[in-house]
Amino acid sequence: MAPDPDGFPLPAVIENLMRVSLREAQGAATAGEVPAGAVVADREGAIVSRARNRVIALQDPTAHAEILAIREAARLVGNYRLNGLILVSTLEPCPMCLAAILHARLDGLAYGAREPKWGALGSLLDLSALPGLNHRLRYLQGGVLAGEAQAQIRDFFRERRKPSRLQGEPPEAPAPPGAPAPSRGPAPAPFP
């Protein structure tokens, strides 16, 4: 299926790519990660890369689905510039992900659900409207299968907040007198 005369992907292409992203997001949820998925594809719908959130698995705060999909696409294409490609994400990108999308020179972006806490395309702020950017998206569409993407997020957090889930965990035993507090990981290094 070819893109429309302006070179933008046809709605059916975007919807098919969103369904792949939704499957990636479900995989993230199954692994206990926030359900977000993304694919990088050409405008005809041929998938170059796909990814899901892996922040917890990789212990990497930058391991968002969009970032991982962009990294893999750049590796496969052999170039950090992804001209001619689009990214389809289940959620409105956060500022970090939108900056990566712009730096990668992706031609377009489609996303599903808005992200009121971190969305960088109008929900929290609109980074794409900043003057002076040296790259603009040629194609931008939000709300693609938004109901399905929103349901994934809602169901994931509803499950995590269930009282039965929280009540089933035994409380932490208090530390004996004089014992150090439980470690929450290594202390940060002092600034020089």
- Check whether 157 has a pLDDT greater than 90: yes
pLDDT for position 67 = 98
Range 151-156 average pLDDT: 96
Contact 68, 100 (CB under 8 A): no
pLDDT for position 1 = 44
pLDDT for position 164 = 62
Whether 66 is catalytic: yes
The share of the chain scoring above pLDDT 90, in percent, equals 71
**In whole numbers, what is the pLDDT of the chain averaged over residues?**
87
Range 11-30 average pLDDT: 97
- pLDDT tier at 169, thresholds 50, 70, 90: low
pLDDT for position 9 = 78
- Tokens 């003057």, residue located: 131
- Tokens 């040629």, residue located: 138
Strand duo 37-42 + 47-52: pairing = antiparallel
Contact 114, 141 (CB under 8 A): no
Contact 67, 100 (CB under 8 A): yes
Range 145-155 average pLDDT: 97
- Check whether 70 has a pLDDT greater than 70: yes
What does the pLDDT look like over 93-149, one tens digit per residue?
999 999 999 999 999 999 999 999 999 999 999 988 888 888 899 999 999 999 999
Q: What is the value of pTM for the model shown?
A: 0.81
Name residues whose C-beta falls within 8 Å of residue 135's C-beta, 6 or more positions apart in sequence: 102, 103, 105
- Range in 74-83, 84-93, 140-149, 167-176 with the lowest mean pLDDT: 167-176
Name the catalytic one among 15, 24, 44, 66.
66
Per the model's pLDDT, the better-predicted residue between 162 and 16 turns out to be 16
